[in-house]
Chain A
Amino acid sequence: MMALRHDNHSWRKIKSALASALSMLAAVLVIAPLGLVFFYLLQKGAGSVNWHFFTQLPKPVGEAGGGMANAIAGTGELLGIASLIGIPIGVLGGVYLAEYGSARSNWWLRFVADILNGVPSITWGVVVYGMVVLTFKSFSAYAGGLALGFMMIPLIMRTTEEVLLLVPNGYREASLALGISRWKTIVHIVMKTASKGIITGILLALARIAGETAPLLFTAFGNRFWNRNLAEPIAALPLQIFSYAISPYEDWHRQAWAGALVLVVGIFVINVLVRFLTRDRTVRIL
Chain B
Amino acid sequence: MAVNTMSSSTPTSQSGAMNPTPTSPATAAELVTANAFAVKDLSIWYGEKQAIKNISIDIPVMAITAIIGPSGCGKSTFIRCLNRMHELVPRTRVEGKILFHGEDLYAAGSDPAMVRRRVGMVFQKSNPFPTMSIEENVLVGLRLNGVRNRQVLNERLEKSLRRAALWDEVKNDLKKPGMSISGGQQQRLCIARALAVEPEVLLMDEPCSALDPIATAKIEELIRELRDQYTIVIVTHNMQQASRVSDRTAFFYVGELIEFGDTAQLFNRPRERQTEDYITGRFG
Contacts and interface: CB of A to CB of B under 8 A. Distances in A.
Q: Do A and B bind each other?
A: yes
Interface of A: 102-103, 168-182, 184, 188-189, 192-193, 195, 284-285
Given A102-B90, A192-B129, 18 more contacts: A168-B127, A171-B130, A172-B88, A173-B85, A174-B129, A174-B193, A175-B129, A176-B88, A177-B116, A177-B123, A178-B141, A178-B145, A179-B115, A179-B117, A179-B197, A182-B113, A189-B129, A189-B140
Contact of A179 (B123, B131, B145): B145
Q: Which 3 A-B pairs have CB atoms at the shortest separation, nearest pair first?
A: A179-B117, A178-B141, A177-B121
25 contacts: A168-B127, A171-B127, A171-B129, A171-B130, A173-B123, A174-B121, A174-B127, A175-B129, A175-B144, A176-B116, A177-B85, A177-B121, A177-B123, A178-B117, A178-B120, A178-B197, A179-B113, A180-B113, A180-B144, A181-B113, A189-B140, A192-B131, A193-B131, A195-B131, A285-B130
Chain B interface SS verdict (over half): helix
Interface of B: 83, 85, 88, 90, 112-118, 120-121, 123, 125, 127, 129-131, 140-141, 144-145, 190, 193-194, 197
A180 B141 contact: yes
A141 B121 CA distance: 53
Contacts of B125: 170
B127 A188 contact: no
Contacts of A173: 85, 88, 121, 123, 127
Contacts of A285: 130
A103 B47 CA distance: 14
Contacts of B131: 192-193, 195
Contacts of B130: 171, 193, 284-285
A90 B83 CA distance: 33
Nearest to B128: A174
B197 A193 contact: no
A179 B114 contact: yes
